[in-house]
């Protein structure tokens, strides 16, 4: 599936309060809390990264998702980019990874999170619990993002357009030896 992705992240400090606000908003739960292991791939010369693109394999219990995102930009406080995504059965994750590696791509960043996904008409809302904190992502049309964020108690000055890799590298918890991964410790 190919689409234009418009999204923002917002740092969340109170998951329970967010859950209550989402219930009050009438959000419909699409996927209960689930673990994700995400791997970003690039060629050894980092040509995808240099041009602002990513190739990601997201592994969940229910699926393996291959995603390509083109270079993007920020428009009216939201990150905007072209996205191509293919959802495969989870049992295909190893084959998908083998194909990616066989054409010469290497893993450049790994990140993990627990994600809960809701929906209001026209907008996906996710709660991502990551090793560097909790974030809500709002994905949909920009005016709807602003409107729903306001109804949840957040203004555009709280919007974050950085990637999880960028947030990880900026985090005080990030160490040089862990720059290429944001994973939960045992």
| Contact partners, residue 121, CB within 8 Å, separation at least 6 | none
Give the confidence band of 181 by pLDDT, cuts at 50, 70, 90: very high
What is the CATH number for 74?
Answer: 2.40.320.10
Q: Give the per-residue pLDDT at 1.
A: 86
Q: Give the per-residue pLDDT at 186.
A: 72
Give the confidence band of 93 by pLDDT, cuts at 50, 70, 90: very high
pLDDT exceeds 80 at position 78: yes
Q: Give the per-residue pLDDT at 174.
A: 65
Q: Domain tally for the chain? A: 1
Beta bridge partners of 181: 110
Q: Give the per-residue pLDDT at 87.
A: 97
pTM of this structure: 0.94
The domain in which residue 33 lies consists of 2-182
Tens digits of residue pLDDT in 138-151? 999 999 999 999 99
């Amino acid at each position: 599936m190919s689409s234009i992705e418009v999204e923002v992240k917002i740092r969340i400090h109170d998951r329970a309060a967010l859950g209550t606000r989402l219930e009050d908003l009438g959000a419909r739960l699409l996927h209960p809390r689930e673990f994700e292991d995400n791997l970003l791939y690039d060629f050894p010369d980092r040509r995808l990264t240099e041009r602002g693109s990513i190739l990601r394999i997201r592994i969940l219990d229910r699926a393996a998702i291959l995603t390509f995102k083109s270079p993007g930009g920020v428009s009216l406080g939201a990150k905007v980019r072209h996205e191509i995504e293919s959802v495969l059965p989870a049992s295909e994750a190893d084959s998908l990874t083998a194909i990616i590696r066989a054409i010469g791509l290497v893993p450049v960043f790994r990140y993990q999170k627990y994600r809960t996904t809701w929906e209001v008409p026209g907008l996906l809302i996710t709660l991502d619990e990551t090793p560097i904190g909790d974030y809500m992502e709002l994905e949909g049309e920009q005016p709807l993002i602003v409107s729903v964020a306001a109804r949840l108690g957040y203004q555009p000055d709280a919007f974050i357009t950085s990637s999880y890799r960028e947030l990880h590298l900026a985090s005080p918890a990030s160490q040089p030896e862990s720059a290429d991964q944001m994973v939960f410790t045992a």
